[in-house]
Amino acid sequence: MLTGEYEYALDSKGRFLMPTEFRSYLGDSVYLVRGFENCIYVYSEEQWQRMSENIKNLSWSTDAARWVKRIWFSSSTRVALDPQGRVLIPQNLRESLVRSGKVVLLGCFDYVEIWDAETWKQQSAEKMSLLGQFFQEANQ
């Protein structure tokens, strides 16, 4: 299970160190995929294959399904961790999603999210009330 929050500065090549706890779960290569909330999803190869199979089987009859397929497969990049455990974020994802040069990695049970540090601070502060709302509704 992937849990925790880690902040890293990207090096000059756009790399960060994947936490040891995440590496042992994800393996030596991962898939980076553009996320829905201006973040990057990180999946193990096995998890990416399962997700891709589900997305591949979506009907082409709806506009939403076609866009999900386009975005998922065109933004998916297989990345091998280097011997030190660093991950290179592809330039297209860095330019559009990691503007501050610092990233926050979030363990999200079975995948990881990479957020621009400034974006994460803003979004998490704005959305914190959802946590209380969720627990309040769940306990009714």
Q: Pseudo-torsion of CA 125, 130, 132, 137, nearest 10°?
A: 180
pLDDT at 136: 81
Map out the domains of the chain as residue ranges: 5-138
Instruction: Check residue 51 and give its pLDDT.
Output: 96
Edge-to-edge order in the sheet of strand 29-34: 5-9, 102-107, 112-116, 40-44, 29-34, 77-80
Q: In whole angstroms, what is the distance from residue 94 CA to residue 74 CA?
A: 15
At residue 8, what is the residue type? Y
CB 94 within 8 A of CB 14: yes
Tens-of-pLDDT digits for all 140 residues of the chain?
Answer: 999 999 999 999 999 999 999 999 999 999 999 998 999 999 999 999 999 999 999 998 999 999 999 999 999 999 999 999 999 999 999 999 999 999 999 999 999 999 999 999 999 998 888 888 888 888 87
* pLDDT value, residue 19: 97
Amino acid 128: pLDDT: 85
User: Tell me, which fold does domain 5-138 have in CATH?
Assistant: Chemotaxis protein chec (3.40.1550)
